Amino acid sequence: MTTTAYRWNQTDAATAYDAAAPHIHPHYHTVQAAVLKALPPGATQVVDLGGGSGRLAELVLAERPDTRLTVVDPSQAFLTLAEGRLARFGPRVRFVCLRAQDAWRDAVGTADAIVSTSALHHLEPAEKNSVFAECHAALQTGGVFVNGDEYRPPSDAAYRDELERWGEHMDSALAIGAIPPTFGPVLDRWRERNLDGFGGPRSSGDDCHETVEEQTARLYGAGFRAVETDWRESLWALLVARR
């Protein structure tokens, strides 16, 4: 998948998602607050992997004045939004237009912490393994990888129920105008892939959800010495992996 083919590499789509994101995800602000809380006090070199329009990066930079942060994302449209949002932080922030599964470590260097929210569930299993290994290699000894993301329950029935509830949440937000009308077709495609096509094959870019236990095993397999689930609710959880 090239960055030009990436569905969020369109200005209109990126702008609509940026406006809709806090209303799409029922626990959006809770997840971001949990990420901030999980960052060690001494983490001054931070990478936001799949950082999109810079909403999480803004919180990190505002709360931690000694921190320098690199936003890595494959969408130039998202990064343009992030550049505007984060302009006030000047040289403390930089931007790298690469996918999480690309060799971003060469452009970023070492880090004290790597954060990510609602991004890596779009990767196939082999891609997750590669990204987790890259995160482990990029971190200083004692560094942390903090991933607030979507995770499925082990039971297919429970998984389907959670997806249905999420779909209802998004439909309600769209109906009251909290989600822009321009985002409606995106939600239609989400329903087609995840509900109408429930149980069907998944490929990179789809919602390739795994259980917390599967993700934890992948992180240990990448070399992390400890993995903890700091928070969990419905389809969302925060995993903290320590190098």
AA letter at 112:
D
Containing 111, the helix (H) or strand (E) segment is strand 111-117
Residues 58/62/63/69 CA torsion (nearest 10 deg): 60
Predicted confidence (pLDDT) per residue in 76-124, tens digit: 999 999 999 999 999 999 999 999 999 999 999 999 999 999 999 999 9
| Three-class DSSP category at 48 | strand
The pLDDT value recorded for residue 10 is 75
Q: How far is CA 177 from the centre of its chain?
A: 24
Neighbours of 180 (CB within 10 A): 16
| Three-class DSSP category at 52 | coil
The pLDDT value recorded for residue 12 is 86
Predicted confidence (pLDDT) per residue in 118-148, tens digit: 999 999 999 999 999 999 999 999 999 999 9
Q: How far apart are CA 66 and CA 172, in angstroms?
A: 40
The pLDDT value recorded for residue 236 is 98
Tokens of residue 173, six digits: 């937000």
If pLDDT is split at 50, 70 and 90, which confidence band does 3 have? very low
Q: How far is CA 190 from CA 24, 164, 166, 187, 198, in A?
A: 12, 11, 11, 5, 11
The pLDDT value recorded for residue 2 is 42
Tokens of residue 26, six digits: 């029922």
Predicted confidence (pLDDT) per residue in 160-201, tens digit: 999 999 999 999 999 999 999 989 999 999 999 999 999 999
H-type helices in 86-155, by residue range?
105-108, 125-138
The pLDDT value recorded for residue 137 is 97
The pLDDT value recorded for residue 45 is 98
Nearest to 77 by CA among 8, 124, 29: 8
Q: How far apart are CA 205 and CA 194, in angstroms?
A: 12
Q: Are 185 and 196 in contact (CB under 8 A)?
A: no
Q: Are 238 and 148 in contact (CB under 8 A)?
A: yes
The model's pTM is 0.95
